[in-house]
A and B are shown apart, each in its own frame.
Chain A
């Protein structure tokens, strides 16, 4: 039974499944670590922020500085939570979409390209949130976000978006052409 005619799901490559499962495992470990090491993570982030006062606009006045540090800590925590959330979601998205591509993509070339884009894009994207979280104490909220955007979110996110629409269009076209 070929991919085009299959009425059963065809398995995507093992490397893709392994990537998705590892991503979900990373998400779960990340979520558990956020709870287990919350205090240590907060202490670390605070100490790095205090070591980079200019980056965070710290002026040496406790009332002013605490507000700036608290805001950065909230974003630091949010970045870790978003990693957890997106890695869980993208793991499932990778499995669902690559399974569909393996089964329904018309040609070998399209199938390979779709699976590669969905796997690499989906697996890489959530790590942008980890990068952002790690960068916040060193370079600040906005600079960290810009770096994560250009290094991770835009390239990996674009790969996923392009592939998801491509796959939806392929399946939509098959739906329309169906006798």
Chain B
């Protein structure tokens, strides 16, 4: 199997390394992360709709902190999956797609798609800074959807180009 360009390999490895490190951070620094998240919610009372009622505010804060922790956890698990996926899909592209420009487009799409897990970091931060629902919606719309779409488009295009390459070999 042919190796994709170094930059694609580097992006994949970087995502894997960040994901593994995030897993360790979630486990070892959980109290600090929770305290930071609580402080950020308290610093953005309007975005979270805090009302000054201790019981209500505690519930709202807990939900926002839970979402931020979930985002970090999704970042960790998705990085374990998307890093290798980008590397393997690019390897298939390098090995079986005969057109140089098409390969270049696929490498770009897989490199962008490999960054999809970083969208969950944005998800965590946005949930704390802009309020849980507004932050999550913004992260999904402006970060996760574009990055995820790049990976999906890349995989579908790779499949189509593999078929096209096979047809070309048969007819040629």
Please give the number of chain B residues whose Cβ is less than 8 angstroms from any Cβ of chain A in the complex. Answer: 26
B1-46 interface (Cβ within 8 A of A): 1-3, 6-7, 9-10, 12-14, 16-17, 20-21, 23-24, 27
Instruction: Give every chain B residue within 8 A of A9 (Cβ-Cβ).
Output: 1-3, 91
Complex Cα–Cα for A160 and B14 (A): 13
Q: Does A12 interact with chain B (Cβ within 8 Å)?
A: no
Closest to A104 in B: B9
Q: Does B84 interact with chain A (Cβ within 8 Å)?
A: yes
Closest to A178 in B: B6
Q: How far is the CB of B72 from chain A (nearest CB, A)?
A: 15
Q: Does B83 interact with chain A (Cβ within 8 Å)?
A: yes
Complex Cα–Cα for A171 and B21 (A): 18
Instruction: Give every chain A residue within 8 A of B1 (Cβ-Cβ).
Output: 8-9
Instruction: Please state if B6 and A168 are interface contacts (CB–CB under 8 Å).
Output: no
Instruction: Please state if B23 and A167 are interface contacts (CB–CB under 8 Å).
Output: no
Q: Does B144 interact with chain A (Cβ within 8 Å)?
A: no
Q: How far is the CB of A175 from chain B (nearest CB, A)?
A: 5
Which of B3, B7, B27, B83 contacts A8, CB < 8 Å? B3
On whether A168 and B21 interact (CB within 8 A), knowing A7-B3, A93-B84, the answer reads no
Closest to A82 in B: B77
Q: Does B81 interact with chain A (Cβ within 8 Å)?
A: yes
Instruction: Please state if B10 and A175 are interface contacts (CB–CB under 8 Å).
Output: yes
Instruction: Give every chain B residue within 8 A of A90 (Cβ-Cβ).
Output: 80
Q: Does A48 interact with chain B (Cβ within 8 Å)?
A: no
Instruction: Please state if B84 and A92 are interface contacts (CB–CB under 8 Å).
Output: yes
Instruction: Give every chain B residue within 8 A of A167 (Cβ-Cβ).
Output: 13, 17
Q: Does A149 interact with chain B (Cβ within 8 Å)?
A: yes
Which of B7, B24, B77, B83 contacts A96, CB < 8 Å? B83
Q: How far is the CB of B13 from chain A (nearest CB, A)?
A: 4
Complex Cα–Cα for A102 and B9 (A): 13
Closest to A86 in B: B80
Complex Cα–Cα for A7 and B9 (A): 12
Instruction: Give every chain B residue within 8 A of A165 (Cβ-Cβ).
Output: 17, 21
Instruction: Give every chain B residue within 8 A of A86 (Cβ-Cβ).
Output: 80
Complex Cα–Cα for A134 and B84 (A): 30
Instruction: Please state if B84 and A85 are interface contacts (CB–CB under 8 Å).
Output: no
Instruction: Give every chain A residue within 8 A of B64 (Cβ-Cβ).
Output: none
- Contact code string B95-121 (vs A, CB < 8 Å = 1, else 0): 000000000000000000000000000
On whether A164 and B13 interact (CB within 8 A), knowing A7-B3, A9-B1, A149-B27, the answer reads yes
Q: A97-B13, A100-B87, A153-B27 are in contact. List 6 more A-B contacts (CB 8 A).
A: A6-B3, A93-B16, A96-B84, A161-B20, A165-B21, A172-B14
